[in-house]
Amino acid sequence: MNHFEPLEIWKKSHWVFTVYIQCLIISLFRFEMNIEAGNLDDAVIELKTATELIIASAAAMEVAGSMTKQQYEEQIRPMMIPPHVKSDNFSGLMLWDHAYLMSLLKKMSLVFKTLPASLQSQQSEFMSAYKVLFAAHKAICQKFVGDEGSLRNSKCIALNTLKKFEQNRLQLISPNRD
């Protein structure tokens, strides 16, 4: 049986997560393109694909957090601070892919708020998938960081920051205008 070190699991899970983000970007582009062209059947396929990619991302995140807190503190967290990284406030938010996805979701917010009734069920599933992803991320944060601050912002409780991010992301993909 192969033995995988926690750092190897952490890195490879994040690589997989990044690939899912890249695929999600493509799927959302195709979704938007089909909405604009009035191809609702194809739009449903792309939104279903995006939903599945988010669920897969949550699974990759769960794998990333499969080590003990001690292993995280001793082997993972030190790799996310100088001299191992150039920034003293390292965060996954710094990933180009993540930043691009967030800008895409902001750009598509009006699309999500004005989807035809025939897509509302799939939109609801998409939102539920995002909740699953954030639940996985919050579980990892709770397990490893607890009530402490993140590497990015030591003054704010990391879990509270994630909850705000979740609200903001859901607002972008919600059909509600509030």
Structure tokens belonging to residue 63: 């794998």
Give me the pLDDT at residue 82, please: 73
Contacts of 32 (CB under 8 A, 6+ apart): 108, 111
What is the spatial distance between Cα 113 and Cα 170, in angstroms, rounded to a whole number? 11
Classify residue 129: in a domain, yes or no. Answer: yes
Asked if the structure places residue 84 within a domain, the reply is yes
Q: Kindly state whether residue 14 falls inside one of the protein's structural domains.
A: yes
The pLDDT tens digits of the residues spanning 40-69 come to 999 999 999 999 999 999 999 999 999 999
> How far apart, in whole angstroms, are the C-alpha atoms of residue 37 and residue 122?
18
Q: Which residues of 26-56 are buried (b: 16+ CB within 10 A; e: fewer)?
A: ebbebbbebbeeeeeeebbbbbbbbbbbbbb
Q: What is the pTM of this model?
A: 0.89
- Whole domain around residue 68: which residue ranges? 6-173
Which residues in the chain show pLDDT less than 50?
Answer: 1, 178
DSSP H helices in 65-157: 69-71, 96-113, 120-144
pLDDT confidence of residue 106: 96
* Residue 17 belongs to a domain: yes
pLDDT at position 1 is: 47
Name the nearest CA neighbour of 118 among 44, 42, 30, 34.
44
Q: How many distinct structural domains can be found in the chain?
A: 1
Q: Answer yes or no: is 159 within a domain.
A: yes
132 within some domain: yes
pLDDT of residue 20: 97
Closest CA to 143 of 62, 56, 57: 62
Domain-embedded: residue 77: yes
**In this predicted structure, what is the pLDDT of residue 119?**
96
